[in-house]
């Protein structure tokens, strides 16, 4: 069979599509990136959409669809879920995967607890690290330290001398001193594997005290503030004044804020995100000057 895969909106190689590719190739099928002009020649077309706000106009009724941007119920069949990803589909030289699923929190803006439930261990680092020519691994875990086996995963990362990116961020609100020390003991890097960096989040103004407590624990453990990036959610349950307070507070701590707009159709949210996320602009002018 001739199989096509449509990646609607992934910012990194889509793990589900890579597993689908691996399974079909195992069956002797040919797999390629979806081309609209060739729609009629495909025997099956899979489409994955991660975000509900992204443009899904390329998705057609005869496609097999999945992803949180489509619904929260559809999962890969177990025989496909168990496949090692086909990284050649994206020509990706590193490794990507989940060491855990689920989350301890039930943030109203997040679908993870509803889709995946409470945290549980899923894969060891050895099982994720299949592209052995690269020593860089991207973890997609939504709650790394919620994994009951997080200590084992940290030891594996150190044993294999890997660089790791915690792509979804670490929950700094409840990080313990022991967990901060564990985090400081591994080589945490950004998604491009170019800088030493670990990502956290500050989603609500009411969390300032616990975020500061976690920040202090991480600094005490040896993580420098300039190595800390914070996702800052705006437009969900905050005012512009609270948004500004959080990013300026993080700046004063020596950290890098990275704004995540809840509603990308809102002009203020887009402008504020562009101002903060463009490092040179953020350091050189105020938001008032930028938006003028």
pLDDT at 95: 98
Domain ranges of the chain: 1-85, 86-291
How many CB atoms lie under 10 A from the CB of residue 30? 12
Task: Report the alpha-carbon distance of residue 131 to residue 160 in Å, rounded.
Answer: 13
User: What separation in angstroms does the CA of 267 have from each of 51, 52, 271, 273, 281?
Assistant: 19, 19, 6, 10, 18
Angle between helices 150-159 and 177-184 (to 10 degrees): 20
Report pLDDT digits (tens) over 74-131.
Answer: 889 999 999 999 999 999 999 999 999 887 777 666 667 677 778 799 999 999 999 9
* DSSP code of residue 226: G
CA 14 to chain centre: 11
pLDDT at 113: 62
* DSSP code of residue 170: B
Closest CA to 72 of 55, 49, 106, 92: 49
- Please report, to the nearest 10 degrees, the dihedral formed by the alpha carbons of residues 152, 221, 228, 238 taken in order: 90
**Residues forming beta bridges with residue 102, ordered by sequence position:** none
In this prediction, the residues of the chain whose per-residue pLDDT falls under 50 are none
Task: Report the alpha-carbon distance of residue 209 to residue 23 in Å, rounded.
Answer: 48
pLDDT at 67: 87
Candidate CATH numbers 1.10.3470, 3.80.30, 3.30.70, 2.60.40; the one for domain 86-291: 3.80.30
pLDDT at 54: 81
Report pLDDT digits (tens) over 165-179.
Answer: 999 999 999 999 999
Q: CA 267, 268, 269: angle at the middle one, nearest 5?
A: 95
pLDDT at 231: 96
Which ranges in the chain belong to alpha helices (H)?
15-26, 78-81, 112-116, 125-128, 150-159, 177-184, 208-221, 240-253, 267-277, 279-284, 287-291
pLDDT at 110: 67
């Amino acid at each position: 069979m001739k199989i096509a895969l449509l990646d609607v909106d992934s910012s990194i190689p889509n793990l589900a599509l890579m597993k689908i590719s691996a399974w079909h190739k195992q069956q002797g099928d040919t797999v390629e990136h979806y081309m609209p002009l060739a729609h009629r020649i495909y025997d099956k077309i899979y489409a994955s959409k991660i975000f509900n706000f992204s443009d899904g106009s390329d998705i057609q009724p005869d496609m097999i669809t999945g992803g949180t941007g489509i619904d929260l119920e559809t999962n890969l069949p177990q025989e496909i879920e168990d496949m090692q990803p086909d990284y050649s589909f994206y020509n990706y030289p590193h490794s990507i995967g989940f060491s855990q699923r689920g989350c301890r929190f039930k943030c109203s803006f997040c679908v993870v607890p509803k889709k995946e439930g409470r945290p549980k261990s899923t894969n060891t680092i050895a099982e994720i690290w299949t592209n052995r020519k690269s020593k860089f691994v991207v973890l997609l875990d939504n709650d790394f330290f919620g994994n009951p086996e997080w200590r084992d995963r940290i030891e594996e990362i150190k044993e294999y001398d890997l660089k790791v990116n915690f792509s979804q961020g670490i929950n700094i609100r409840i990080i313990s001193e022991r967990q901060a020390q564990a985090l400081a003991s591994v080589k945490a890097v950004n998604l491009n594997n170019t800088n030493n960096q670990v990502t956290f989040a500050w989603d609500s103004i009411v969390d300032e005290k616990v975020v500061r407590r976690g920040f202090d624990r991480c600094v005490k453990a040896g993580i420098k503030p300039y190595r800390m990036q914070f996702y800052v959610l705006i437009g969900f349950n905050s005012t512009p004044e609270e948004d500004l307070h959080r990013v300026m507070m993080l700046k004063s701590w020596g950290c890098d804020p990275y704004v995540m707009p809840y509603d990308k159709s809102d002009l203020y949210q887009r402008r504020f995100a562009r101002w903060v996320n463009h490092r040179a602009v953020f350091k050189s002018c105020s938001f008032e000057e930028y938006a003028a």
